[in-house]
Amino acid sequence: MPDKYFGFSDEEYAQRLASTRQAMEAAGVELLIISDPSNMAWLTGYDGWSFYVHQAVLVSLDQLPIWYGREMDANGARCTVYMNDDHILSYPDPYVQSTERHPMDHLSTVIENYGWGNKSIGVEMDNYYFSAACYQSLIKNLPNANFKDVTNLVNWQKAIKSEQEITYMRRAARLVEKMHARTFELAEVGRRKNELAAEIYKTGLDGTEEFGGDYPAIVPLMPTGKEASAPHLTWDDRRLREGEGTFFELSGCYKRYHCPMSRTIFLGKPNDAWLNAEQALQEGLVAGLEKAKPGNMTEDVAGALFGTFAKYGIQKDSRCGYSVGLSYPPDWGEHTLSLRAGDKTVLKPGMTFHFMPGLWFDDWGIEITETVLITETGSECLANVERKLFVKD
């Protein structure tokens, strides 16, 4: 057996496979083609930066999963997955980024050889890693199969974290605490933003004396001034200036498990609009966290936040949070529950989400966020960074 990177037991993988098969049967699916690397890792333990080429995990109802990928990546699978070599299959390199053949052509032959060519096959249609060309190839080469869209079927099995997964997220929390502390230490008028980004990465990867860090699925988001009116800008080599605020949406990452958190730094003296927004965020987070407990729904958390905002004359109707955990680029979200009106997902112990109530105005923005664990009696914020607007005169 390989020295598994994630360190989960075979029993935990068996439980994950069992829950996935229950969901497959409920969906009327006999075979899954899983292409999301987060789901591939969760089901098999596979870890590698190979998701830029086509790869998959096949999940049937009667045998262990099969890892399928580029031939040169098969040894990476042997180093990481819990299955033996019989469950590691690959396609030759001439299929890589070819205009004449597609890896799914080869996979179709594998599926036929296993006797699955006439099965009901689930694919992750709305997925970063499963392209239109993938689907066209499968349709063409498996004419007797019945294809079904099972986007997020596996994602939902990941919603409740095991104790070991929560341990990994707590370690990611320790990393993001250090990242924010280092950011506040170095942020000053005249500092180039790329220098801050470099220190953020270094701090997160250096880790602690007990453990090191992994690369996060999203790069540091750190827009300044007017650019902070948009939530997803990164950095450049310009220098920080007095009288401007920068929010830092960062995540510690340990063995691919994330703990994102945002804090905002203002250089100079913030005006009343900034202080009003800070107060609204602080009170809104408290109100939302009071609703974050087993039995309540995700929309209850959002409603409490938005109700608080309304008292401050702030209207916000976009979602304010989402499930997080194990992930690969380009996103640390799990694409399942969302904190917003109309989402009636019932909160259960072991669920983890990024409570993300950012405020983006016409020419500035502020973020104060938390990663939250639902406990048996309520909720817990995994990272401990003072919940406020950080000001440096």
d(CA 217, CA 384): 21
Structural domain spans, the chain: 10-157, 163-392
- Residue 89 identity (one-letter amino acid): L
d(CA 120, CA 29): 5
Of 30, 17, 40, 23, residue with least CA distance to 147: 30
With contact defined as beta carbons under 8 Å apart, do 92 and 71 qualify? yes
With contact defined as beta carbons under 8 Å apart, do 302 and 384 qualify? no
The first and second tokens of residue 341, run together, are 């009106």
Q: Using pLDDT thresholds of 50, 70 and 90, give the confidence band for residue 171.
A: very high
DSSP state of 250: E
Q: Look at residue 1 and tell me whether its pLDDT is greater than 80.
A: no
d(CA 85, CA 180): 43
Class of domain 10-157: alpha beta
Q: What pTM does this model have?
A: 0.96
Residue 298 Cα to chain centre, angstroms: 18
Give the H/E segment covering residue 120: strand 120-123
pLDDT tens digits for range 82-138 = 999 999 999 999 999 999 999 999 999 999 999 999 999 999 999 999 999 999 999
Mean pLDDT for the stretch of residues 368-376: 98
pLDDT at 3: 54
pLDDT at 230: 96
Q: Look at residue 4 and tell me whether its pLDDT is greater than 80.
A: no
CB neighbourhood size of 115 (10 A): 9
Examine residue 330 and say whether the peptide bond preceding it is cis (omega within 30 degrees of 0). Answer: yes
Q: Look at residue 39 and tell me whether its pLDDT is greater than 70.
A: yes
pLDDT tens digits for range 63-86 = 999 999 999 999 999 999 999 999
Mean pLDDT for the stretch of residues 37-66: 98
Q: Look at residue 182 and tell me whether its pLDDT is greater than 60.
A: yes
Half-sphere exposure of residue 143: CA atoms within 13 angstroms, side-chain side:
1
Q: Look at residue 220 and tell me whether its pLDDT is greater than 70.
A: yes
CB neighbourhood size of 3 (10 A): 7
For the domain 163-392, what is the CATH code? 3.90.230.10
